[in-house]
Structure 1
Amino acid sequence: METEHVGVATAVPVDRKSQARRAAIAATMGNLLEIYDFIAYGIFAVPISKTFFSLQSDTVALILTFATFGVGFIARPVGALVIGAYADRVGRKKGMSLTILLMATGTAVIAFCPGYASIGLAAPVIVVIGRLVQGFSAGGEVGGAVAMLHENAPVGRRGLYAAFQQMSQGCGVLVAGLIGLLLSSVFTPEELFAGAWRLAFVFGLLIAPVGIYIRRTVAETPDFLANAHHRKPPVRSTLMQHYRTIGMGVLIMLFWTIATYISNYFSTYAVRELHLSLQESYIGQIAYGVTMLACCPLAGLMSDRIGRKMPMLFGTLLTAVLAYPLFYLLTQWPTLASLILVQVTIGALLACYASCASGVLGELFPTSIRVTGVAISYAIGVMVFGGFTPAIVTWLIVLTGDKLAIAYYLIAAATLSCIPVLLVRDRHAAD
């Protein structure tokens, strides 16, 4: 039995195995709903663009919508610094509770903001504010989730537990796809574009009760409690002393984040470029989410046995080889079957990489700065590489007139990501 200190004079007994299970469930569910709220904006980009951006050109409106999507990533590094330092000083569960409540606030803004037809230019301005709040929150979320999973993992199972972080992201896409399919089945396209899409964000407000649950029932991690008496370095010192490690973490994010947001862009790509229906595009997202749910734990288990590098290299190299033929097949035969094939294949290869990358990020940093280090690496990597991926891909397709531009972008990301994987030290066997 172990104890978690609460206040000054009380101590609550905590069974280590039970604590690990509750922490894993809380971190996974919290991350799932937070990623769902963040990704739902991209999945419902087409109706959002028509609601908040009243322009004659649908293409320009869509690019502005994705640019607003990218704005959320600008706030991520700030959130990573602020929330990461807070979680490293006062505890993981308090940091996670804060991120979840902030995400719920940003989601509520998008769910209930009037459209351009009602309040004019104020509509996109308010949406940008909501995205900034979401981005600030997401900046600290991944660091907190990785730290909670990493620090509660049983001996020899850090890779498996860390893989739950990426699995929960895939589940977030799965839930978003299911909600999209449900809404597109219940409502006509006209009703969906007229405002029924907002129900997806109303559903996302379920994140708030999860935050309350985490704050009340989940114990603080043993690693944090063991190091709680140590003086925490200022954020500036953290950045200066660990800038090489943070830089490595950022590079590890390259393929992870670009492939993730290309996968999330599929709903728009399927409708705009392939002329598939919204329902078919959501089924593709569901297939991707199911693939993540199945493959991430397997990749995590494998990384505990053979190390993190081999699965990561397998994911990047095979993506570089298969991306062009997969997208060529999809553009030449744009059917639901080919869409599912592409999304399942990319999802499986991304699971091999990202599930292990979560473990690598957790192992790069010591306990005293783990949330801050992971959060900053993730936030900068997502902001630089992934946040504007939908806007960049849309722009490249318009500029070149080539629907395969998305494949070239993914191949470049997969190839370049082999470099940090080869350079990083594999610590899977270290205590």
Structure 2
Amino acid sequence: MNSITNKVEQPQAVVSLKRAAVAATVGNVLEIYDFIAFGIFAIPISRVFFPSASELNAILLTMGTFAAGFLARPIGALVLGRYADRVGRKKALSLTLLLMATGTVIPAICPSYATLGVLAPLIILLGRLLQGFSAGGEIGGVVCMLVENAPPSRRFFYASLQQAAQGAGVLIAGCMGLTLNSIFNEQQILDGAWRIAFAFGLLIGPVGWYVRRSVPETLLFSKTSAPERSKSLPGQLITYRRSLLLGLSVMVFWTVATYISNYFTTYTVRQLHLTAVDSFIGQVCYSLVVIGTCPLIGRLADRIGPFRPMFLGAGLTVIGAYPLFYLLTAYPSLPMLIAAQMLIAVLLACHAACASTVLGNLFPTAFRATGVGFVYALGVSVFGGFTPLIVTALLGKTGDNMVVSYYLAGAALLTCTGLLALRKTGFAHTQPAQ
């Protein structure tokens, strides 16, 4: 009788795990889709909401608004992460998705500067802040949902789906940009067709919310006691200050490489003088590689541990960033762009596919959503989110297209240093702290 029961329960457990994985990752798709869409359509957004006598100034104002959303991420990580650690991952993830969908739709419906004047860019800024706040709480809950539900032997594989979901968001955004540019001409896109990309986010939000409401709470969270959940936030931040610092070192390369890859849509047109369609094709190829590679790296890490794949990805970037961008700028073409995007995708996947589990293993269950979310938010805000703004400013100041490679290699070097420090601490290969 027990054997029959076990045979029934095992398929049910697999179905439940798959449903939890879908519930966890759907918000990541919307999050990255929204941010990529904002970068893809930075030029029409700059003309609609940030008119200026200088195109560079208009782009800088747009990128500054884009970056402002990242300032809200650490606050969202603390507030929503704390909520997830006290009342549960399921409720927190449902809330973050609703907030995220609201922030996504604002650019789709906000009137232009010509209609509202200075109020228009302020509304766009509010939407970025709301999106950043919700995204700050999203990642901690996602990592908890994946790591705490997965069996010990497959934690890296399931957590790698978080980065694969980000690749899916890039893919959808790239396909959307490619589709709109195929249907509409440049003037029609400037006149408002770009808003369709943000309206599309409304389709993802309700579906994701329904899926998240239908999954059970994680078992590890259910086992935590009320006293564990109610510990003071300042005390926890002090207690786990070393883990927070080590986690931040993991984030540097992860976020900078991600947002440099996203910045390619602007870099391709403004610096390489290729077409917008070329940039979208490059994004699609990048995202397909991320989606396909991350689960493979996750399975590898379950067998050999995370250090070697992560160090390989970051270390090869230190060595290869300059020659890669040298070839791209010396021989700008669609094949070179695709090759560069795909190579960056592989190197990033080696690192990022393992990073979520490593971050989750640094913190106990009662602080995991807050700890992971706060580290991720700080990394994205300090290193990643301002990457488009910093790179745009450096390109405008120096006129040297290679500054992107210096920035990327420097970020990878910082992460390599952090990985060596993490390895000395034991690294918590497969088991999350209880």
Q: TM-score, normalised by structure 1?
A: 0.95
Which residue in the other structure is 1:213 paired with? 210
The answer to whether 1:95 aligns with 2:96 is: no
Contact 2:24–2:212 (Cα < 8 Å) also in 1? no
1:43 to 18, 26, 40: 40
Q: How far apart, CA to CA, are the structure 1 residues paired with 2:384 and 2:167?
A: 16
Q: How far apart, CA to CA, are the structure 2 residues paired with 1:377 and 1:301?
A: 24
Which residue in the other structure is 1:352 paired with? 350
Contact 1:30–1:210 (Cα < 8 Å) also in 2? no
Which residue in the other structure is 2:315 paired with? 317
Which residue in the other structure is 1:84 paired with? 81
Map 1:268-417 onto structure 2 (within 5 A).
268-417=266-415
Contact 2:91–2:213 (Cα < 8 Å) also in 1? no
Which residue in the other structure is 1:9 paired with? none
- Counterpart code for 1:67: G
Quote the offset at 1:223 in angstroms: 0.8
Which residue in the other structure is 1:131 paired with? 128
- Counterpart code for 2:329: T
Question: 1:310-341 CA deviation, whole Å, 9 max, x = no partner?
Answer: 00110011111111111111111111100000
- Counterpart code for 2:139: V
Q: How far apart, CA to CA, are the structure 2 residues paired with 1:167 and 1:243?
A: 29
Quote the offset at 1:27 in angstroms: 1.1
Q: How far apart, CA to CA, are the structure 2 residues paired with 1:274 and 1:16?
A: 50
Quote the offset at 1:16 in angstroms: 2.7
Question: 1:195-240 CA deviation, whole Å, 9 max, x = no partner?
Answer: 1111000001223213431343111111111215443112122111
The answer to whether 1:225 aligns with 2:226 is: no
- Counterpart code for 1:20: L
Question: 1:339-394 CA deviation, whole Å, 9 max, x = no partner?
Answer: 00000000110000111111101111111111000000000111111111001001
Q: How far apart, CA to CA, are the structure 1 residues paired with 2:173 and 2:287?
A: 9
Contact 1:39–1:173 (Cα < 8 Å) also in 2? yes
- Counterpart code for 2:379: G
Q: How far apart, CA to CA, are the structure 2 residues paired with 1:261 and 1:429?
A: 28
Q: Percent identity?
A: 55
Runs of 4+ that moved beyond 4 A: none
Which residue in the other structure is 1:267 paired with? 265
Q: How far apart, CA to CA, are the structure 2 residues paired with 1:174 and 1:405?
A: 26
Contact 1:54–1:117 (Cα < 8 Å) also in 2? no
Contact 1:246–1:373 (Cα < 8 Å) also in 2? yes
Q: How far apart, CA to CA, are the structure 2 residues paired with 1:429 and 1:173?
A: 29
Q: How far apart, CA to CA, are the structure 2 residues paired with 1:239 and 1:429?
A: 23
The answer to whether 1:428 aligns with 2:429 is: yes
Which residue in the other structure is 1:20 paired with? 17
- Counterpart code for 1:252: V
Contact 1:324–1:408 (Cα < 8 Å) also in 2? yes
Map 1:239-250 onto structure 2 (within 5 A).
239-250=237-248
Q: How far apart, CA to CA, are the structure 2 residues paired with 1:342 and 1:159?
A: 27
The answer to whether 1:115 aligns with 2:121 is: no
Q: How far apart, CA to CA, are the structure 2 residues paired with 1:239 and 1:39?
A: 31
Contact 2:75–2:136 (Cα < 8 Å) also in 1? yes
Which residue in the other structure is 2:8 paired with? none
Q: How far apart, CA to CA, are the structure 2 residues paired with 1:346 and 1:323?
A: 9
Question: 1:115-161 CA deviation, whole Å, 9 max, x = no partner?
Answer: 11211111111110000000000001111111100011122111001
**What is the DSSP-based 3-state SS (H/G/I as helix, E as strand, rest coil) of the residue aligned with 2:152?**
coil
Distance 1:214 1:91, change over 3 A: farther
Q: How far apart, CA to CA, are the structure 2 residues paired with 1:388 and 1:218?
A: 35
Which residue in the other structure is 1:55 paired with? 52
Q: How far apart, CA to CA, are the structure 2 residues paired with 1:216 and 1:304?
A: 29
The answer to whether 1:166 aligns with 2:167 is: no
- Counterpart code for 2:188: E
**What is the DSSP-based 3-state SS (H/G/I as helix, E as strand, rest coil) of the residue aligned with 1:205?**
helix
Contact 1:261–1:387 (Cα < 8 Å) also in 2? yes
**What is the DSSP-based 3-state SS (H/G/I as helix, E as strand, rest coil) of the residue aligned with 2:206?**
helix
Quote the offset at 1:265 in angstroms: 0.1
Q: How far apart, CA to CA, are the structure 2 residues paired with 1:135 and 1:284?
A: 26
Which residue in the other structure is 1:257 paired with? 255
Which residue in the other structure is 2:7 paired with? none
2:199 to 202, 221, 229: 202
- Counterpart code for 2:401: K
Which residue in the other structure is 1:75 paired with? 72
Contact 1:361–1:374 (Cα < 8 Å) also in 2? yes
**What is the DSSP-based 3-state SS (H/G/I as helix, E as strand, rest coil) of the residue aligned with 2:329?**
helix
Larger deviation, residues 183-192 vs 239-248: 239-248
Q: How far apart, CA to CA, are the structure 2 residues paired with 1:288 and 1:392?
A: 22
Q: How far apart, CA to CA, are the structure 1 residues paired with 2:12 and 2:239?
A: 36
- Counterpart code for 1:263: S
Aligned residue pairs: how many? Answer: 419
Larger deviation, residues 205-214 vs 19-28: 205-214
Which residue in the other structure is 1:181 paired with? 178
**What is the DSSP-based 3-state SS (H/G/I as helix, E as strand, rest coil) of the residue aligned with 1:114?**
coil
RMSD value over aligned CA atoms? 1.4
